[in-house]
A and B are shown apart, each in its own frame.
Chain A
């Protein structure tokens, strides 16, 4: 959806090297006007460096950055049409909330009455309208973050950069802030670029996600596509939880791949258009919630099925994770089942001999 809109940010072959180490390695991508874009990856994958290059706080070793049609090389941080919400929020401790929010306007020479008015407006936007006279040390972490948000939005940037904005908040507040950030983004219509290592955060907020590893973008896709059709084992494993079966491609018939996996009696069958060649080593990636547990083998012969034994059960409230031994040669298979009934009436228990089954439309076969 977003690829059709005009790009506001274009990153062209950008690298950042520290000696021989490449923190960001030849990244090319574009971000559309009004998008909520997430850079997702483990720590040290280069996502923050990329964000800081957009802000102008780091300079790329190679490549070009274009924001709103303007080449950013040679444009210092204080003249770029972007603003940033820092991981530590960096709310100036010696200024009141209102002065903090108005600071960006003050240094750009806006008149005092207008500063007051616009800062107050921005504070109202983040629901801190009555907090203008407070000092930062009189605020909670969540409130400080809102101040940082208002301060970055008050200058009406073309792009708002957010560096791990929710990582310092507690779980409940984090969930609430996700919704608020999405609403805020819709209200102000500014392009948001967020850096996060939390996949839930990226999945729940972003319109598109770039998964990064070792300085490179491994996959760029909307959340659902990323979750259902990961392109590499790294992405499959990093986004959500996954069971991985290594095997050899035995046959490909009418878009159905047959993957022979050592340790499983029957080969795994997966419907997929993009198929690796016969004889190649490949991995079947299967989400825990797509597998069903039953006492009897499934009646449909086209369905994948394997017998197993429940070894562990992890109770997580809304779901239980069953760890099932299908073969001594394979790691335990994780199966997620919603706790529809109360736990006292759990249908399966430890040491039960069961069948695991899943349809051909579940899971993907990956060759990388």
Chain B
């Protein structure tokens, strides 16, 4: 037995056994360190019983209490989530329709349209932010609306930079669509709308979920564009954190960020779980 184990250990590393190579392991380790060390630090120090983020003084939840009691922070948090939810719905629908249009139809300047649509992905955020600021002040967008209508400017700005991401993801998904599916449905008597509802949408679903998730996270953590479009009454979470950090980095910020991270992770897991469930038993989810 021992002998067998010894021999197995001495087997030469096969060409595909990447996990047994030292350089591969080191790269993996480095990746994890660079990706997660800052986040781990952030989360760990949110429980630190100290005013500063430098020395560990023991476990405490008091900064979570403090963050919860900070009305400005809570308000910003609620604003961010509201914007994210609303804009995700709009961006997903808009993005999916754009992808369908580009995939399904041939029309003059289609290439030009496709390029123009993808511009917000490549344009520097700062330019987008300035453009949005200029646009809203030029059209005289009202700033004194009651909540949640006062978030409309930020929501519109977010839709305009996140829907191309949805469109790109859904478009990629549609490339793999076998047109015989829609033809079969048509042949069986389905109208255009029924083909869309019964065949196209179920096929696009993974793309829609992925695109929506992308749009949601993009909106939630956007700082630059939001900074230019937000007013004193419409502070979002990233903008609020920025203003807090300008005075000092307190564990309170860490605590609030940790809650945000937890929320994003939970939402992502939920979306993935829904997706895998949809793959196994679609009629249950649909029905």
Contact = CB atoms under 8 A, between A and B. Distances in A.
Interface hub of B181, B184, B278, B282 (most chain A Cβ within 10 A): B184
B193 to A, nearest CB: 10
B283 A79 contact: no
Interface stretch (A36-44, A83-91, A237-245, A335-343): A83-91
B177 to A, nearest CB: 11
A96 interface: yes
Contacts of B183: 55, 57, 77, 84, 86, 90
A151 B283 CA distance: 18
Given A78-B187, A103-B188, A155-B188, A90 B194 contact: no
Contacts of A82: 187
A104 interface: yes
A107 B191 contact: yes
A157 to B, nearest CB: 9
Contacts of A95: 282-283
Contacts of B191: 78, 107
B129 interface: no
Contacts of B278: 94
B198 A103 contact: yes
Interface residues of B, number: 22
A99 interface: yes
Interface magnitude class on chain A: 20 to 34
B231 interface: no
B184 A94 contact: no
B187 A77 contact: yes
B203 interface: yes
Interface in A2-55: 55
Interface hub of A82, A94, A95, A103 (most chain B Cβ within 10 A): A94
B248 interface: no
B187 A84 contact: yes
B104 to A, nearest CB: 15
A42 B40 CA distance: 64
Contacts of A56: 187
A92 B199 contact: yes
A141 to B, nearest CB: 15
Interface string A80-124: 001110111010111110010001100110000000000000000
21 contacts: A55-B187, A78-B186, A78-B190, A78-B191, A83-B187, A84-B184, A86-B180, A87-B180, A90-B181, A90-B183, A90-B184, A92-B198, A92-B199, A96-B283, A103-B188, A104-B189, A107-B190, A107-B191, A148-B184, A151-B184, A155-B188
Interface of A: 55-57, 77-79, 82-84, 86-88, 90, 92-96, 99, 103-104, 107-108, 135, 148, 151-152, 155
